[in-house]
Amino acid sequence: MTRWESYLVSAAKVINSYKGDLPLHHFLKQFFKQHPQMGSRDRRWISQLVYHYFRLGWWHTDMDISERLLLGTFLCEQQSNDLLEQLRPEWNQQIAAAPEEKLAISGAGSLAAEQLFPFTDELSQGINADAFAWSYLRQPHFFLRVRNNKQEQIVSALQKNGIPYELLENRTTLALPNGTKIEDILKDKSWYEIQDASSQQTGHLFKPAKGQSWWDCCAASGGKSILLRDQQPGVQLLVSDVRRSILENLQQRFAAAGVKNYDARVADLTNPAFPGTMGRVKFDGIILDAPCSGSGTWGRTPENLRFFKKEEINKFQDLQKRIATNVIPFVKPGGVLIYITCSVFRKENEEVADFISSNSHLVQEEGGVIPGYGNGADTMYAVRFRNKE
């Protein structure tokens, strides 16, 4: 058995034993821990094969696993591939062809959007189902947000280290190859934040003013809060999350980013009794980056195409409505609420936005879907509401 054939066998073992009960990258770590004889190159090839397999969604699931691994590699790769060169050299010669041409070359037949992404009937308005589904054949980029006007220094460091990059039109977003060990290249953490390009765009809706009070109520790792403070260092900031461990991670990230003078608290926003714990406080702005399916980020975790159940969308919508209900009373008259998800499902997006408008004095001002599938980014949804009370 050649090295390349052994990679197919190992990748098939991963796929046959993986049940979707934890993120694929965690499962792979466990698998490789059980096979310490595999070196870094072996782990990289096997991981790549497995991810290519899941990027094909529900298409040709009845195909022999080894054949589907090869087909996934052919469709997802754009540059000459050593494995294909050994096992499918005629495909490797056409590796730069368009996906439609590759389908004809491989003899695999047609590929419809719903075969890649089986939830096309749930998509938000404005999302191109075909373009979105086909984007799964490409791994999203790794993005940086430039801070403190350090564009020249960052670009110089990338060039010095031979790292290809694209500086987007806004001059503050950099797209880099996945796997770039940016911490080895940029030692000063105050120069940048790792943040998806679409996530960065949500900040266009913030528009904070000096001295205002803002609450990032589902703060998680704090990326939106750092973005807010970078826009206006003079805002008074409260961050909360239901998980104490997450807030501890947030505080470490804030320290590295130089974010100081803020309040933090553990808060279960789904608890009906929560509003009574907040007193009479009101905020000029609230960022509700709601827990969601994460479907707009599945290009990074394509295993979800196989293991996500459609009925979970309703569960997320119910969660989002309960959180919104508990948060809305704390928006000042004239204040704003920024509702954000990294979902592509209308039940988590437009339907929750309509629920907010119908059950409060909040009126939608601007926002909507942020399509990332055209530039290798996540797809998100963000809407700005104004309290007209």
Show binding-site residues for S-adenosyl-L-methionine.
Answer: 241, 268, 289
Rounded CA gap, 174 and 195, in Å?
A: 10
| Catalytic one of 76, 218, 292, 342 | 342
H or E element at residue 276? none
Where do the DSSP E strands lie in the chain? 142-146, 166-167, 173-176, 192-194, 213-216, 236-241, 262-266, 283-289, 331-341, 362-370, 380-387
Q: Is 342 a catalytic residue?
A: yes
Q: How many CB atoms lie within 10 A of CB 82?
A: 11
Half-sphere exposure (CA, 13 Å, Cβ side) for 196? Answer: 20
Annotated binding site: 241, 268, 289
Concatenate the DSSP letters of all residues of 21-35 into one string: SS-HHHHHHHHHHT-
Are the C-beta atoms of residues 270 and 79 closer than 8 Å to each other?
no
Within 10 angstroms of residue 128's Cβ, the number of other Cβ atoms is 14
* CA 74 vs CA 106, 131, 271: distances in Å: 9, 19, 49
> Which sequence positions are flagged as catalytic?
342
